Structure 1
């Protein structure tokens, strides 16, 4: 990923840094008596992957949940839950992940349908996009929300005609009480409320949370990831990660946001600045503010410029322009980066307008403000991304049909007339927009190889849709140097260049010699972060 030296035969590492990159002869001439030599045997060596958008603690916690990605139909759901319940007699909450929006029958409360599977224990399932949870009656009772819950705009405990919750819970503050039944209340705070744990957290509780982070880090190391931006967090997250670092258990470089929620005021940004001052090294950093501008397409909570053809409404922005524009200007004035979840074209435009306002108010600087997802964008807004230097943080695993997400109900909710404006990757890159790739794990599989296959094999939705596939080279750049640049970490990692961190991933094949539809099966052989082996495949000689 070094334009001055795009390909090499060998490199030398020392003291956690890259010392030399060049021919095998030049590099091997540097070895000493104690130097370890790894023969890659013609396989591909790359900078360690930079995962630009995931949820490391929640992902680690969910590894033990019931996984529904490949489960189909109510009977399949029943069998999966009953088997999980039998194998998990002591779990306080039987939580499933990866549910699709077509599992349950329309017109019948979700809780009653789930009661038909298990009624005497609390069960719940999270949608694949993590913006909706469906829970049975027992879970709603134990969470104290069967009779409803007052929530901020955009979050909703859906109520039935009988005055009781239907079991459908929209967005994080609505389903937070159910998630807490499983012991994840502290882990969920960063994304649900942006707050910190109340009261004193015992060391046993902290250790349990640290174990979730560590499981997530280990899982990511297996996939060649050496740096990441976790998109939920608070000071508690950074403190847990700092303890892991001090104990030698931090396996990647992690950037953690201050999560700004609609109920907050500008004075709360003091907390963001304090986090940035306290954590600002090559391994743990903050320096940015994360927000949600809208929800998701499948639940009709993504904010659109025109009404959905299915729901008949546009939804609403969580931060209207009168609130977001001065907020973006204030965050930018404080020298912090901004990252905003925006999926609908209305949300995307609102964020672009806010970033433009910040530039007018404060002047141009190397802000690298980001928009996360950009699933739908108005054609008039696309050129504005490049003009304003906005990073498009995109997920190649998210377009319906590309990987694990089905085509429906997303395509119907967007409407055929707008498919050409959806999931625009190549056309944004062609406009000069900076692209950073990520998975949004645990929303989708964190596997970089599977995402690369999704990029290269994605099909257009109709004849009037452009080919939105990036090349292998472009995609690898977006997963390495592109991600590092987007996170203001390009002076640390993202390229194989002397002086940068010894963050590497060795694949068990040469991707340029692998058919596009087989790339997902390529395994990581070796992951090295800061010169330390964080993952080695079984039998790999190191």
Structure 2
């Protein structure tokens, strides 16, 4: 009953009317008081000395994949590999360490490491010739496999390209070893051994703890099925959940009508759980620009692509699914990266509004990488949350080697229009897209402010500098935007008496530190509803 008093540093409230306080008192999972009121009411409350650091509302992640990312932590680690040779060496080591594994799996290699994103099966054959190898790219839209994997899956020169996907080939028509987009990836993934339930739970718990360690109190798990909901509920009921989560149930073109009953059952099973919900449906409108699969209004400009990309859904079916899932009471979360996909997503929401009026749900367009100027005002007009992966908004190798050559200079300079959408009155929400990129919120939020690479700080003035966000707006997109997305802005997102005590203790006040240095700010503690989780 005595609660916890936080003092000895800056309390950053994210309330423009009173942005800073000296102390905060939390009790029974809620903020009780700030400043002098907190000190007067503290009584016998336990104290947390901020040590000159900063307390602010805990971060929320509006788009990540802990259900998948946690399991990938069990595979060969490839994220830090800086060349094809380093990836091959890591695969060789992992294979030697797991001699009994039927498959050698790895995750999060950089898709820009090979020219044009073309990865050869023979490079992996040199490391593991006798077992199938399957490596998932960092963007999760490409699978690089060895020859044994192609043989196991029966993929050869006669295998046709699946819809909205591509099997890259050599000049003689034989598969190269690079499978682009989910339809092609599934040709091999259908032959992978199933993960054991123990591995799935262990990976998920590890992922959730990593999020909590990074200062995250809520996450939108953006690619799930009904089984993932049951797994999360079991862990929640065992008291093992360090973050709250809403699981997006992925709907598939062609089969979505048959999925609806199972989705409703999964959602209803989670109702009333304080940590887990399943109130959202995920739809992929397209792929990614670096693979040439994002859907564009005008053809790709180069980089080996001359088509319009690969839309996953036909616009009419996407609109019909959006209306049906809204009628079922689900929120919509649409992956849309190219400007044609963004338009299709907005058109689908507009169709819902026309057919059903302005429902209480808050549709989300995730990633929002390239938006046609005519579509910018539609986000606010339709009540669509613009979710960005802010760490991508810089000139990294993926941009310079793959994306920009495919878009050309004019479209390349219109990517990630954060400031433009903010000016229209749209709600911005940030997501890490982990394990595609870092799950530390300040890594991405800093890029939103600077538009510079986190490591080298290039270019000095920022890439597409007119799209840089003010510090307050960027922090809001990492805290208040996802709270709005989750229909929880009345519970969290600022520090005010009565709001939930979701807190993060940083070792420095980000508003007093150059944003280029934000990745170096440490997280010293995380609390969810007043309970310490990290």
Give the TM-score normalised by the residue count of structure 2: 0.89
1:475 equivalent to 2:474? Answer yes
Q: State whether structure 2 residue 334 is matched by structure 1 residue 340.
A: yes
SS at match of 1:228: strand
Q: Matched residue of 1:232: which SS?
A: strand
Other-structure match for 2:56? 46
C-alpha distance 280-7 of structure 1, shift in aligned 2 (>3 A) = farther
Question: Which of 332, 335, 350 in structure 2 is aligned with 1:356?
Answer: 350
Corresponding residue SS for 1:286: strand
Please say if residues 428 and 481 of structure 2, whose CA atoms lie closer than 8 Å, have aligned partners that are also in contact. Answer: yes
Aligned to 1:410: 403
Aligned to 2:282: 290
Alignment of 1:120-139 (within 5 A): 120-139=130-149
| 1:416-471 residue CA offsets vs partner (Å, 9 max, x unmatched) | 02123211111111111110001100000111121122222214989994521112
Counterparts of 2:409 and 2:253, CA distance in 1: 33
Matched residues in 1 for 2:24 and 2:121: separation?
Answer: 58
Q: After the TM superposition, which of the residue ranges 454-463 and 358-367 deviates more from structure 2?
A: 454-463
1: CA distance, partners of 2:51 / 2:232: 36
Are 1:323 and 2:317 matched, yes or no? Answer: yes
Q: Deviations over 1:313-342 (max 9, x none)?
A: 002422222212222222223332111101
Matched residues in 1 for 2:398 and 2:33: separation? 40
Alignment of 1:427-446 (within 5 A): 427-446=420-439
Q: Shift of the alpha carbon at 1:494?
A: 2.5
- What value does the CA root-mean-square deviation take over the aligned residues? 2.6
Q: Report the CA distance between 1:306 and its aligned residue.
A: 0.4
1:16 aligns with 2:15: no
Aligned match of 1:512? 511
Residue aligned with 1:272, SS: helix
Partner of 1:199: none
Q: Are the equivalent residues in 2 in contact too, given 1:51–1:438 (CA < 8 A)?
A: yes
Deviation at 1:378, TM superposition (A): 0.7
How big is each residue's C-alpha offset from its partner over 1:135-175, in whole Å with a ceiling of 9 and x where there is no partner? 00122334454577677521344455666533211223432
- Which structure 2 residues correspond to residues 491-530 of structure 1 after superposition, within 5 A? 491-530=490-529
Match of 1:419 in 2: 412
1:207 and 2:207 matched: no
| Partner SS for 1:436 | strand
CA distance 1:418–1:244, change in 2 (3 Å)? same
Structure 1 Cα separation of the partners of residues 506 and 419 of structure 2 = 25
Are 1:396 and 2:387 matched, yes or no?
Answer: no
Unaligned runs of 5+ in 1: 187-204, 536-542
Structure 1 residues 40 and 329: CA distance shift in structure 2, 3 A: same
Aligned residue for 1:421, secondary structure, equals coil
Query: SS of the residue aligned with 1:241?
Result: helix
User: 1:307 and 2:299 equivalent?
Assistant: yes
Which deviations, in whole Å up to 9, do the C-alpha atoms of 1:9-59 show, x marking residues without a partner? 2222222222x2311x321332344x3111113311111111000000211
1:230 corresponding residue in structure 2: 221
Q: Is residue 148–residue 159 contact of structure 1 (8 Å, CA) maintained in 2?
A: no
Paired with 1:531 and 1:156, the residues of 2 have a C-alpha distance of 49
- The one of 368, 372, 391 aligned to 2:362: 368
**Separation in structure 2 between the aligned mates of residue 73 and residue 216 of structure 1, nearest angstrom:** 26
Aligned partner of 1:31 in structure 2 is: 42
Secondary structure of residue in 1 paired with 2:291:
coil
Q: Give the match for residue 68 of structure 2.
A: 58
Unaligned runs of 5+ in 2: 1-13, 453-457
Moved more, 526-535 or 137-146: 137-146
After TM superposition, give the deviation of residue 516 of structure 1 in Å.
2.0
SS in 1 for 2:134: strand
Shift in alpha-carbon separation, 1:152–1:287, aligned structure 2, 3 A = farther
Distance in 2 (alpha carbons) for counterparts of 1:524 and 1:103 = 32
Query: 1:528 Cα shift?
Result: 0.9
Contact 1:275 1:287 (C-alpha < 8 Å) held by counterparts = no
Change (3 A) 1:111 1:430: same
- Does the 8 A contact of 2:221 with 2:246 survive in 1? yes
Secondary structure of the corresponding residue to residue 422 of structure 1: coil
Q: Which residue of 2 aligns with 1:201?
A: none
Deviation at 1:405, TM superposition (A): 4.4
Q: State how far apart, in whole Å, the 2-side matches of 1:267 and 1:107 are.
A: 36
Give the TM-score taking structure 1 as reference length.
Answer: 0.87
| 1:280 paired to 2:271 | yes
* Separation of aligned partners in 1, 2:513 and 2:497: 29
CA distance in 1, matches of 2:116, 2:367: 28
Q: In 2, distance between residues paired with 1:179 and 1:380?
A: 39
